[in-house]
Amino acid sequence: MGQLVSWTPDLSVGIEAIDDQHKRIVDYINQLHDAGLRKDRKAIGSVLAELMEYTVSHFSFEEALMDQARYRYAAPHKKVHELFTRRIAEYRHRFQLGEDVAVEMQGTLIKWLMNHIKREDMNYGEAVRASLGEGGPKPKEEAETVPAGDAVRRFFRRT
Instruction: Give dist(CA 102, CA 25) in Å, integer.
Output: 15
64/113: higher pLDDT: 64
- Given a cut of 80, whether residue 19 has pLDDT beyond it is yes
Q: Among 16-25, 57-66, 117-126, which is the least confidently predicted range?
A: 117-126
The answer on pLDDT for 159 being more than 60 is no
Asked if pLDDT for residue 126 goes beyond 90, the answer is no
Q: What is the pTM of this model?
A: 0.78
Confidence at residue 4, expressed as pLDDT on a 0 to 100 scale: 84
Query: How many C-beta neighbours within 10 Å does residue 12 have?
Result: 20
- Chain segment 90-114, per-residue pLDDT in tens: 999 999 999 989 889 888 988 888 8
Kindly write down the DSSP assignment for every residue of 91-106, as one continuous string.
Answer: HHHHHHTT---HHHHH
